[in-house]
Structure formats: C-alpha cells, structure tokens
Amino acid sequence: MKKIIIFITLTISTLTFSQDQTDTVKGNVQSETSKSILQNVHVLNLTKVKGTITNNNGEFEIQAKLNDTLYFSYIGYKSLKIVVTNDLIKFDDNTIELTELAFALEEIIIKPYQLTGYLEIDVKNAPVNTSTRYKIIGLPNLGYEAGRRSRSGISKVIGAIFNPADFLNNLFKKRSRKMDKLRLMREDEEIKNLLSIKFDREVLVQLLGVDRADIDEILRNCNFSDTFIQQANDLQILEAISECYDEYKLLEF
C-alpha cells in the first residue's frame, strides 16, 4: 500500500513539474538572400506579450508554448509571423530567414488612363474620387469622409462625430481581451524599446488585433489631434490608447 502511495505521489509531482515548466524557442535569424546574421532583430511573442532581441551572433531565446505566435521585426526587412510548433521547441538550432523589402515588394499594376497632356481632355479621363467629405463649422477636423454621396453617408459622419462613445464601446467590447494586453505591453522593456523607434503602427496592429484605421479612429475619438496621430511614435500611440482604454473602463463600471 505504501509503495502505491509513493508511486502516486511521485507521478503527481512529475506531472506538476512538467506543467510548471516553461518552454522556450531558440534559434538564429539571418538574411534570406545573403545568409548573413541579423543582430538586434526584435522577436515578440504576440500571445504572451513578451519580447527579446537577437544578440551579436543573431541568436535569440524567448519563452513560448505550442501554438503561440512569434513575430520578427527588423528595419529594412519584411516582418515575419510564425506559429510555434513542437519542432521549434524541440530543436535549439532553428534558423529564421527574413526577406529584404527590396525583394518583398509585390507586383504593382498601373492602370492606363490614356492621358494626352491636354488639360481639358485629361480631366475627363482621370479617375474621380466619388467619396464625399463633410466639413462642420466649429470642429477642428479638415473633413469627414463617408464614402459615396447618400443619406446614410451623412448619418454615418454625424453619428461618428456626436457619438464617439458608441464607436469606442463597440470596438473596446469586441476586443476587450486584446486591449487587456496594453498593460503587458507597457511592462515589457523590449516591446517598449521597439515601439519607441517605430512609426508604422505595424507592431501595434499585430499585438492588439486591430486595423490601422481603427487605431486612428480610437485616438480621434479620444480627442487626440491629427498632428499627434500622424507624428507620434508607436510607443506614444500605445500610451495614448492605454490612457483612453483606462478611462473607458472607469466609465463602464
């Protein structure tokens, strides 16, 4: 009987220890074309909201579990997002290759408009933006775009202007779990260091699971100026959204 009890105790201890173990993903990052090592590549675990950078040998090590999403970001290279597999955890010599932006450009199709050089003729052939913009006296914005001219378009603009809480309520409620990551992002020094040198909102889009347009709308509805929205770095944008979300939660309760 004692042997059985000891066996069960050891089994439970082993299971508990294995559950407490934190998996890590190790590897190195290099250029896809030149195969040269890449130093100071930012490696983010989007699931756990943890970050690190590659060392002088292009090596990295980051906490991650199966099915976590890793995000690799480096200036001049196309960002890469991968899902953690058993092989990534099992092996320590994983090689991650990043593609230079010069080789990552997608094909651009230029549509001919048969311009002649004569203004009167070219004005008729040039494409026209059919979206309608509205200017309301007394409001600082240069204009509000509402798609094609229609009554519903006007209602959409008026609603967005005079009911900003509705927009924030819908967006924050739908993405409450994503928005809760704001605190974790502000606590991770590597993520903050990365955001402080970026202006493209790319990392914020990945971490928060929102569109670039949504980020701009959040800030506008939280009374941040267009100048701030256009010129602030990603860390400043993070702080601004965090402030707005904290105020939203206070009002909600």
**Which pLDDT belongs to residue 15?**
45
The per-residue pLDDT of the chain, averaged, comes to 77
Residue 60 CA from chain centroid, whole number: 21
| Sole residue written with tokens 């001219």 | 149
Please give the model's pTM, rounded to 2 decimal places.
Answer: 0.67
Task: From 223, 225, 241, select the one nearest 185 (Cα to Cα).
Answer: 241
Secondary structure of 97-110 in HEC code, one letter for each residue: EECEHHHHCCCCCC
Portion of the chain with pLDDT greater than 90, in percent: 47
We find that the CATH architecture of domain 2-104 is Sandwich (2.60)
pLDDT in tens, 212-226: 988 998 898 888 988
Check residue 129 and report its DSSP letter: -
Q: Distance between CA atoms of 65 and 53, rounded to whole angstroms?
A: 18
Q: Distance between CA atoms of 38 and 31, rounded to whole angstroms?
A: 7
Location of each CATH 2.60.40.1120 domain in the chain: 2-104
pLDDT for residue 16 is more than 50: no
186 phi and psi angles, rounded to 5 deg: -75, -20
pLDDT in tens, 137-164: 444 444 444 444 444 444 444 444 445 5
Cα-Cα-Cα-Cα torsion 219, 223, 228, 232, nearest 10 degrees, comes to -40
Burial class (CB in 10 A: 0-12, 13-18, 19+), 106: exposed
Exposure letters 188-217 (e unless 16+ CB within 10 A, then b) = beebbebbeebeebebbebbbebeeeebbb
pLDDT for residue 206 is more than 80: yes
